[in-house]
Structure 1
Amino acid sequence: MEEEPQPQQQAVLTGMNAISVCVISISACLLHSITYVASLYIWNYPHDRNHPNSIIKRFISVFIMLFISPVFLYVALDKAILKEKTFLEILGLRLDGLLQAFTMPLFLTMILFLGPLYMQMLNGLFKVYTEPMHWINNLKDLTWIRAHIVAPLSEEFSFRSCMLPLLLQCFRPLAAVIVCPIFFGAAHFHHVLENIKMGVPWKRAVLVSLFQCSYTTLFGAYSAYLFYRTGHLAATFITHAFCNHMGVPDIGELMQYQSKQKACVTIVFIIGFVSWCYLLNPLTEPKWYKNEIYFK
């Protein structure tokens, strides 16, 4: 299906100078990123980031950012766009295609993680998922809630829903998808300060943060693509939560398997990645999600 010009781009061509749009959009995204990270440090932390008191304070910060983040979008957004779509629709908050947005991107991402999921089946972790107490205990754990609910929701809303529409004003879709996660990845570099504070040597802290930034930037590009194709915050939230649950694939565990089993697991990894590449566009077809925000 041939993609039609985006409503944002059409509004730009008829309303604002392209250079001005880019300056305003990128400046808004940069200021937004700084504000988001700064909100985490307005508190006086006597403990590390994983202490319950620190987690609760940061929950308060990101909750407040849920109301501040849309302001950056609204101020920098070409108002001509709002004549075609509501502000909630631009944020990815809509009911049309919601069920598909919750299920199909998750299924697609599970295919990408087919190798790690297969390893979980081999090491018996799948059995844990069937135990009700496992989930009950998780819901009492602030670190689990942070990783699976609060962080995915706040980060996807701020760095996808409130940023990507701005970047689509001045960049082509592929470029916007690539630029958007740079703000997301850079926003994670502040962890270097926390690691040094916890006693981690600064060189190791920098290397760890660089790896984290690289990984989150790659994920951010995938998430931005999902948001562009589906037009749903739900798609990026559920995908982010699942990726946080899975973490970085444990290659060390893979190397510990016997030769035949290692070869089998490696093949599953490859099948998962190739299948994900093949299904990426079909399972994010905008028509599935009734996405008329960026596609007509």
Structure 2
Amino acid sequence: MPLVFDSPPISTSTAHALTVLFAFTYVGSLYISKNARLSFLNRKVSTDNGTPRPKYVNERWRDDPDVIRARLVAVCVATTLCCGLVFWILRSFVGPKPDGFELTLETTIARLGFTLYRWDMDSLYPHLVTPVLFLGPLYAMYLGENLPFQAKWSFQGDVVSKFLSWQGIRNYVMAPITEEIVFRACVIAVYYMSGASTKRIIFLGPLSFGLAHVHHAWDTFNRYGRTASAAKRALLMSLFQLAYTTLFGFHCSYLFLRTASIYPPISAHVFCNIMGLPDLMWELREHPHRRAAIIFMYVLGVVGFVYTLEPWTRFGGLYWRERPYAKMTY
């Protein structure tokens, strides 16, 4: 029998506190181990043309392989702890039932979206929503012959060197998986247990995801020389990253709530990390004879995204309800 609660088992303030705890656990794990912490030269260094300064001996930067390895271990442990906390919260409400552990485990797996994947077209559609939005950049890549198996694409350079490096494993594998589990699955699970509405979960939950990226400002400030200009750059980049990751979080929260699966948010995260930020102005300068076509494909991507977002994600029954707490079934 599934777990049934007649009223929210936790309060909204408790959900807020747990969300902060999840973010603190994830980000804090990067600084507990000496091997995972960054170290920089403790003095100002002038840089030219807004470029990062050279890396000096005995410094530890975030792209160093040993730092990446240590941080990957740290976030895996942090992610496990966050999932364990969700399990513990649910377990505390099950009580001393004979099948309490199995019931809680089954409930936790469902709440975190770790459902068995169905290999059919209906399950594929949610993974295609985000690529539709990127029709413009994908078309520009096609014009530049940079898509897979085109002239300027190579398996060694675009797959092996990119995805099998330590930076690639971090950016395209471990970061999307662990961040989506913590900042999407765990955060949404506790907000749902508090009785929060669907809209509130979509627009409130991702704030912790955006704030969790602010710590990169310290890295930017040091790599650009610890000057006033470096501080300004760090501030602007952090504000932009906060806005971008929060907006992206809205999208992934919607995907998770609609599908009740963690896999579409993870694939969206991986895809966006691979594509990076679109640069329309550069693409228009690079392909001046296709300006109208590029703009059209950008517009088509936005229209297609809006059109497909709802029908291509119509699969979740666990979270997507008009009244999330008439009686909640786990």
CA RMSD of aligned residues (A): 2.6
Following the alignment from structure 1 to structure 2, what is the Cα–Cα distance between the partners of residues 143 and 40?
Answer: 16
1:131 and 2:121 matched: no
Please state how far the C-alpha of 1:254 moved relative to its aligned partner: 2.8
Which digits, 9 at most, give the CA deviation of each residue in 1:56-110, with x for residues without a partner?
A: 1111111111211113323445836x67962111111111546568632221111
1:186 and 2:211 matched: yes
- TM-score when normalising by structure 1: 0.86
Following the alignment from structure 2 to structure 1, what is the Cα–Cα distance between the partners of residues 177 and 133?
Answer: 21
Equivalent residue for 1:145? 169
1:113 and 2:134 matched: yes
Following the alignment from structure 2 to structure 1, what is the Cα–Cα distance between the partners of residues 16 and 209?
Answer: 13
Structure whose CA Rg is larger: 2
Pairing partner for 2:30 from 15, 40, 43 = 40
Equivalent residue for 2:318? 293
Equivalent residue for 1:69? 82
Following the alignment from structure 2 to structure 1, what is the Cα–Cα distance between the partners of residues 289 and 163?
Answer: 39
Following the alignment from structure 1 to structure 2, what is the Cα–Cα distance between the partners of residues 58 and 129?
Answer: 33
Is the 2:284–2:294 Cα contact (8 Å) retained in structure 1? no
Gaps of 5+ in 2: 39-58, 95-102, 322-330
**Secondary structure of 2:114's match?**
coil
Q: Percent same amino acid among aligned pairs?
A: 29
1:247 and 2:268 matched: no
Equivalent residue for 1:160? 184
Is the 2:183–2:208 Cα contact (8 Å) retained in structure 1? yes
For residues 102 and 275 of structure 1, do their structure 2 counterparts lie closer, same or farther at Cα, with a shift above 3 Å needed? same
Following the alignment from structure 1 to structure 2, what is the Cα–Cα distance between the partners of residues 220 and 52?
Answer: 28
For residues 102 and 219 of structure 1, do their structure 2 counterparts lie closer, same or farther at Cα, with a shift above 3 Å needed? farther
Letter in 2 for 1:195: T
For residues 292 and 85 of structure 1, do their structure 2 counterparts lie closer, same or farther at Cα, with a shift above 3 Å needed? farther
Following the alignment from structure 2 to structure 1, what is the Cα–Cα distance between the partners of residues 231 and 242?
Answer: 16
For residues 112 and 15 of structure 1, do their structure 2 counterparts lie closer, same or farther at Cα, with a shift above 3 Å needed? closer
For residues 27 and 151 of structure 1, do their structure 2 counterparts lie closer, same or farther at Cα, with a shift above 3 Å needed? same
For residues 295 and 199 of structure 1, do their structure 2 counterparts lie closer, same or farther at Cα, with a shift above 3 Å needed? closer
**Secondary structure of 2:33's match?**
coil
Equivalent residue for 2:261? 232
Letter in 2 for 1:79: F
Which digits, 9 at most, give the CA deviation of each residue in 1:19-71, with x for residues without a partner?
A: x5111111011111111111011233341101111111111111111211113
**111-120 vs 35-44, which moves further:** 35-44
Is the 2:63–2:167 Cα contact (8 Å) retained in structure 1? yes
Which digits, 9 at most, give the CA deviation of each residue in 1:118-169, with x for residues without a partner?
A: 0101111112786332322334311111111010001001111111111123
Gaps of 5+ in 1: 1-6
Please state how far the C-alpha of 1:192 moved relative to its aligned partner: 0.2
Please state how far the C-alpha of 1:260 moved relative to its aligned partner: 4.8
Equivalent residue for 1:27? 17
- TM-score when normalising by structure 2: 0.78
